[in-house]
Amino acid sequence: MTTKTAAITAVGGYVPEHVLTNAALEQMVDTNDEWITSRTGIKERRILKPTSLGTSFMAIAAARELVQKKNLDPAAIDLVIVSTATPDMPVSSTAAFVATEIGALNAFAYDLQGACSGFLYGMSAASAHISSGRYQKVLLIGADTMSSIIDYTDRSTCVIFGDGAGAVLFEPNDEDLGLQDEVLRVDGKGREFLKIEAGGSMLPASSDTVAAGKHFLHQEGRPVFKFAVSNMVDAIEQVLDQNNLTKNDIDYVVAHQANKRILDAIAKNLDLDYEQMLVNIERYGNTTAATLPLLLWDYESKLKKNQKLLFTAFGGGFTWGATYLTWAYNT
Ligand code: COA
């Protein structure tokens, strides 16, 4: 059996209709458009309403768009991976529900929890499944309903996050295009800086934990910012080095959209041209596992066959990495 590379062959996406602007946030917490724009680069984000629709609603919409665009028979999909930090329920696989709803009747499915690196880790899993030779079509979805875990009285987190979903199809490629290499890492000590304390096995949900707001996402922004920049830069440098590439060989950097200043710092540290960075944070905020596929969704028409893309992400855990992928099609 010859090992084949796994290439992205289609992209789909979905963002909810409801737009939460900086002006609307000014009415909710002590903040202002100038602070949010200058500190984060975010102008607006999308919010799933009602929340009870669940992350699967957006994942299904993104997957259906991909299936339609690609004219794909869902029964031909072998595997559905949903990368998410906000599954529909703590127990019962969101991916299983998504697979059934889209008609992927011959697939198996699982959720992958890598926080903001969930999609990057999912690319590794999808690619490995394809390269095993056992699977031909792997649907990878990054989807998060961050509004379901945000405290809308906490100005330091509520301005940053938004909801959305993006989907890509991975298939074997005969021209050696697709995922080429990756550097993926974790540092478990980082969990103190970015977490939801209650609702897991260590601190099951109770009326006390809810009263204390421990079911909401809590982060210490400054250390997270620092670790995010240095670790993403390190991972990118390593993956470039491993592949004898320089920054000039790279067409686009597809970086997790956490904060525009983080993107600026990555570009500065690596001496990248700003045109090399794909950016849409101003419209969606940080959608966690959905940021990378939503960039592909927005910029798909710009991407050309054989172009070299560098993906990078950083998230809770800590989790992070960088992945080198060559684009496999023209739209
Ligand atoms: N509006 C106005 N002021 C705000 C504010 C808001 N929405 N949020 C925080 N502030 C205030 C703080 O209270 C603080 O005031 P003080 O100096 O009087 O104490 C001041 O702004 C500076 O706070 P700080 O937290 O140091 O700001 P910052 O420049 O680090 O920006 C983040 C905050 C969260 C935007 C930034 O740290 C960040 O983006 N961190 C990384 C987040 C991230 O990537 N998370 C996801 C990981 S994938």
Q: Are residues 108 and 200 in the same domain?
A: no
Of the residues 149, 176, 203, the one at which a domain ends: 176
With a 6 Å cutoff on the Cβ, whether 31 touches ligand 1 is yes
Q: If pLDDT is split at 50, 70 and 90, which confidence band does 42 have?
A: very high
Closest residue by Cα to atom 29, ligand 1, is 39
Q: Are residues 257 and 206 in the same domain?
A: yes
As for how many domains the chain has, the answer is 2
Per-residue pLDDT at 1: 55
Q: What is the pLDDT of residues 153-198, one digit of tens each?
A: 999 999 999 999 999 999 999 999 999 999 999 999 999 999 999 9
List, as one string, the DSSP characters of 176-227.
Answer: S-EEEEEEEEE-GGGGGTEE--SSSSSS---HHHHHTTTTS-EE-HHHHHHH
Q: Is the pLDDT of residue 12 over 90?
A: yes
Q: Which atom of ligand 1 is nearest to the CA of 258?
A: 44
Please provide the size of the chain in residues: 331
Of the residues 151, 176, 201, the one at which a domain ends: 176
With a 6 Å cutoff on the Cβ, whether 199 touches ligand 1 is no
What distance lies between CA 146 and its chain's CA centroid?
Answer: 12
The burial of 135, by beta-carbon neighbours within 10 Å (0-12 exposed, 13-18 middle, 19 or more buried), is given as buried
Q: Are residues 170 and 200 in the same domain?
A: no
Q: If pLDDT is split at 50, 70 and 90, which confidence band does 3 have?
A: confident
Specify if 78 maps to a domain. yes
Q: What is the pLDDT of residues 91-148, one digit of tens each?
A: 999 999 999 999 999 999 999 999 999 999 999 999 999 999 999 999 999 999 999 9
Q: Are residues 220 and 245 in the same domain?
A: yes
Specify if 331 maps to a domain. no
Q: Active site includes 256? A: yes
Per-residue pLDDT at 236: 98
Closest residue by Cα to atom 44, ligand 1, is 258
The domain in which residue 132 lies consists of: 5-176
How many C-beta atoms surround the C-beta of residue 301 within 10 A?
8
With a 6 Å cutoff on the Cβ, whether 158 touches ligand 1 is no
Residues 28-33 have a mean pLDDT of 98
With a 6 Å cutoff on the Cβ, whether 40 touches ligand 1 is yes
Residues 1-5 have a mean pLDDT of 79
- The CATH number assigned to the domain holding 106 equals 3.40.47.10
Q: What is the pLDDT of residues 53-85, one digit of tens each?
A: 999 999 999 999 999 999 999 999 999 999 999
Q: Are residues 172 and 184 in the same domain?
A: no
Q: What is the pLDDT of residues 263-275, one digit of tens each?
A: 999 999 999 998 9
Closest residue by Cα to atom 33, ligand 1, is 221
Q: Are residues 165 and 284 in the same domain?
A: no
- What whole-number distance in Å separates Cα of residue 107 and Cα of residue 100? 9
With a 6 Å cutoff on the Cβ, whether 314 touches ligand 1 is yes
Q: Are residues 113 and 258 in the same domain?
A: no
Of the residues 119, 148, 176, the one at which a domain ends: 176
Q: Which of 173, 215, 256, 259 is catalytic?
A: 256
How many C-beta atoms surround the C-beta of residue 208 within 10 A?
10
Q: What is the pLDDT of residues 270-300, one digit of tens each?
A: 999 989 999 999 999 999 999 999 999 999 9
- What whole-number distance in Å separates Cα of residue 173 and Cα of residue 178? 7
Per-residue pLDDT at 2: 67
Q: Are residues 40 and 21 in the same domain?
A: yes
Q: Are residues 143 and 206 in the same domain?
A: no
Q: Are residues 95 and 52 in the same domain?
A: yes
Per-residue pLDDT at 99: 98
More confident residue, 3 or 17: 17
Q: Active site includes 116? A: yes
Q: Are residues 169 and 56 in the same domain?
A: yes
Contact (CB, 8 A) for 6 and 127: yes
Q: Which atom of ligand 1 is nearest to the CA of 315?
A: 48
Using DSSP bridges, classify how beta strands 163-173 and 5-14 pair: parallel, antiparallel or unpaired.
Answer: antiparallel
Q: Are residues 113 and 69 in the same domain?
A: yes
- What whole-number distance in Å separates Cα of residue 173 and Cα of residue 5? 6
Per-residue pLDDT at 280: 98
